[in-house]
Structure 1
Amino acid sequence: MKKWMLALGAPLVLAAQPVSAQKDSAEDAQAMATLMEAFAAEPLTPEEEARLPLAETVVAKMLPPGSMKKVMDSTFGGLMGPFMDMAAAAGPNLVDHIGYEESELEISEEKVKEVAAIVDPNWQERQKREMALMQSAIGEVMEAMEPAMRKGMSEAYAVTFTDAELTDLNAFFSTETGASFASKSYELANDPRVMGAAMSTLPSMMEQFAAIGEQMKVAMADLPARKTFETLSASEKARLVALTGLSEEDLEIGMEVAAETAAEDGPF
């Protein structure tokens, strides 16, 4: 009964939304469909389907109920904790209070806090509750994701491992040590120490990205620059106007913005 009630109610809810909201919803749905298509996997073969029950048994020991929420809670307390503390120490967001960025007004951090205290004397408590709610909400999302993750892992294991390998894994995970390893494997992969070690590599990663940027410039050096509005021929402008529905003035402004953005962003 619930299913057909929801099916009947969905169009009514959609009809009650503003047209712009419906458009955004349709665009979001299309984007999600495209994303799902990009990650679509081949159907399991009969042989893989036959291995699936054993794979599910193995994965159930590796990702027992509550694992993902437990990891998220520990992540917030470990790796995310310092970030949350930094966010709290950074003070209020001026845009939320008066609609202007700090950089636009060029005022000190003390004045920002004073402005926030005038507009919202409870901004600190509000920020604290927002962070607590975020942790709780993400934990619930992770918990809701868990069955799908377990299903995906089971299929991946059925594809990746043979019957003999899955049997050996299940036998190992049935021992005291194996059961301990299995139940902690997902948690260990997301341990704050592991994540912290990964974060420590960020400076070298940024250096590598900077180097890639320079390499990209060299790789593109022999290519002519993109045309600007000024370098377009009259026929090219007319064709772009016809294709886009823009006026020449709007096209010129848009191309100027695109050129400025490209100059600021670099090769990526």
Structure 2
Amino acid sequence: MMKRLILAATAGLALSLTPAPAFAQSSEPTAEELGALGSLFGDMFGTAEPLSPEQEARLGAAMVVVTKLFPEGTYAKMMNESMAPMMEGMLGGLGGSPAITLTALTGIDPFTLTSVEDEKLAEAVALLDPAAAQRNAAMSDAMFTLISEVVVEVEPAYRSGLARAYAVRFSGEELADLSAYFDTPVGKKYAAESFLIFADPQVMASMNEIMPAMMQRMPSIMEMMENAAAEYPEGRTFSALSAKERAKLASLLGVSEEELADAEPAGTSTEF
């Protein structure tokens, strides 16, 4: 079990930095379940400390600067002009990988297919699912449209967060200096390009090096994490609890003991 936890943690780190394949769910989630899931991850990026009265007083000046740096429509421009090529490749990978497609259709572990030539994988996909390429392209287009809508929707909140951050990190005098600089010709150009630069293809292409580097270091990462984890007792599964503890867990989670027993993974092991 511990190895699975380490792999999950490591994969989570890697996948948070790189595109990841989408895995099908056993059943379609309801709107209520999706809302609950959204609440569960609502604080995944942490929470910020309240601003001090002095920082609050600088919010107006900070927003003036932020509006020059991140004017309305920046996210839409970033998506359409800078991130479209990256997102096309990224979203195409959600279902476009022959190994992932074949795994879904045959049940074969994708790692088993790593030694198979790309041409043979493509031929196998064509045999099983001739419409795969067209379907994946249509799904990618739909996903890109949805992501574009979401980032545009959250843009005001992001701008507000930027203003708070500038109010914390810069004094009133510094904010005034920044605002004056962004009114100069070079300042205006920098302000207009600063956020778009981070999504420039030249920058995003360099991110291609992350996953190979992570995979190259995976053995040492696994060893280090196992050594760190070995210093602490492992977590227990439902079947390892006492009758009293099982009842308490069921009460805490609002489910029956039978549901917890049925949900416990088969063959759970606490050994490395």
Regarding TM over 0.5, the answer is yes
Give how far 1:164 is off: 1.2
2:125 counterpart of 1:112: yes
Which residue of the partner structure matches residue 49 of structure 1?
56
Which of these residues, 84, 103, 128, is aligned with residue 108 of structure 2? Answer: 103
What is the CA–CA distance in structure 1 between the aligned matches of 2:97 and 2:230, rounded to whole Å?
45
Give how far 1:44 is off: 2.4
Give how far 1:145 is off: 1.6
Identity of aligned residues (%): 28
Give how far 1:103 is off: 1.7
Give how far 1:85 is off: 5.7
Give how far 1:36 is off: 3.8
What is the CA–CA distance in structure 2 between the aligned matches of 1:252 and 1:176, rounded to whole Å?
66
What is the CA–CA distance in structure 1 between the aligned matches of 2:194 and 2:229, rounded to whole Å?
44
What is the CA–CA distance in structure 1 between the aligned matches of 2:81 and 2:128, rounded to whole Å?
35
What is the CA–CA distance in structure 1 between the aligned matches of 2:155 and 2:78, rounded to whole Å?
12
What is the CA–CA distance in structure 2 between the aligned matches of 1:130 and 1:91, rounded to whole Å?
18
What is the CA–CA distance in structure 2 between the aligned matches of 1:225 and 1:190, rounded to whole Å?
41
Corresponding letter in the other structure for 1:64: P
Change (3 A) 1:38 1:135: closer
Change (3 A) 1:168 1:136: same
Which residue of the partner structure matches residue 17 of structure 2?
none
Corresponding letter in the other structure for 2:67: A
What is the CA–CA distance in structure 2 between the aligned matches of 1:141 and 1:30, rounded to whole Å?
16
Structure 2 alignment gaps of length 5 or more: 1-28, 114-119, 251-255
Corresponding letter in the other structure for 1:135: F
Q: Given that residues 229 and 252 in structure 1 are in contact (C-alpha distance below 8 angstroms), is that contact kept between their aligned partners in structure 2? A: no
Most deviating of 197-206 and 145-154: 197-206
- Judging by fraction of residues, say which structure has more helix: 1
Give how far 1:150 is off: 0.9
Which residue of the partner structure matches residue 197 of structure 2?
188
2:259 counterpart of 1:254: no
Q: Name which one, 1 or 2, has greater alpha-carbon Rg.
A: 1
Q: Given that residues 102 and 112 in structure 1 are in contact (C-alpha distance below 8 angstroms), is that contact kept between their aligned partners in structure 2? A: no
Give how far 1:93 is off: 3.7
Q: Given that residues 91 and 143 in structure 2 are in contact (C-alpha distance below 8 angstroms), is that contact kept between their aligned partners in structure 1? A: no
2:73 counterpart of 1:62: no
Structure 1 alignment gaps of length 5 or more: 1-19
Give how far 1:134 is off: 2.0
What is the CA–CA distance in structure 1 between the aligned matches of 2:51 and 2:263, rounded to whole Å?
51
Give how far 1:54 is off: 1.2
Change (3 A) 1:192 1:210: farther
Q: Given that residues 62 and 186 in structure 1 are in contact (C-alpha distance below 8 angstroms), is that contact kept between their aligned partners in structure 2? A: yes
Which residue of the partner structure matches residue 171 of structure 2?
162
| Cα deviation digits, residues 34-89 of structure 1 (max 9, x gap) | x3497332332222222111111111111122211222234444333444566547
Which residue of the partner structure matches residue 243 of structure 2?
238
Which residue of the partner structure matches residue 157 of structure 2?
148
User: Whose relative contact order is higher, 1 or 2, with alpha carbons under 8 Å and at least 6 apart?
Assistant: 2
| Cα deviation digits, residues 79-107 of structure 1 (max 9, x gap) | 33444566547399468xxx743528x99
Which residue of the partner structure matches residue 136 of structure 2?
127
Q: Given that residues 61 and 182 in structure 1 are in contact (C-alpha distance below 8 angstroms), is that contact kept between their aligned partners in structure 2? A: yes
Aligned residues: CA RMSD: 3.8
Which residue of the partner structure matches residue 7 of structure 2?
none
Corresponding letter in the other structure for 1:101: T
2:117 counterpart of 1:90: no
Give how far 1:252 is off: 9.6
Corresponding letter in the other structure for 1:103: I
| Cα deviation digits, residues 178-222 of structure 1 (max 9, x gap) | 010011000112222222223314333344454232123223445
Which residue of the partner structure matches residue 185 of structure 2?
176
Count of matched residue positions in the alignment of Structure 1 and Structure 2: 228
Which of these residues, 201, 215, 224, is aligned with residue 215 of structure 1? Answer: 224
Q: Given that residues 73 and 135 in structure 1 are in contact (C-alpha distance below 8 angstroms), is that contact kept between their aligned partners in structure 2? A: no
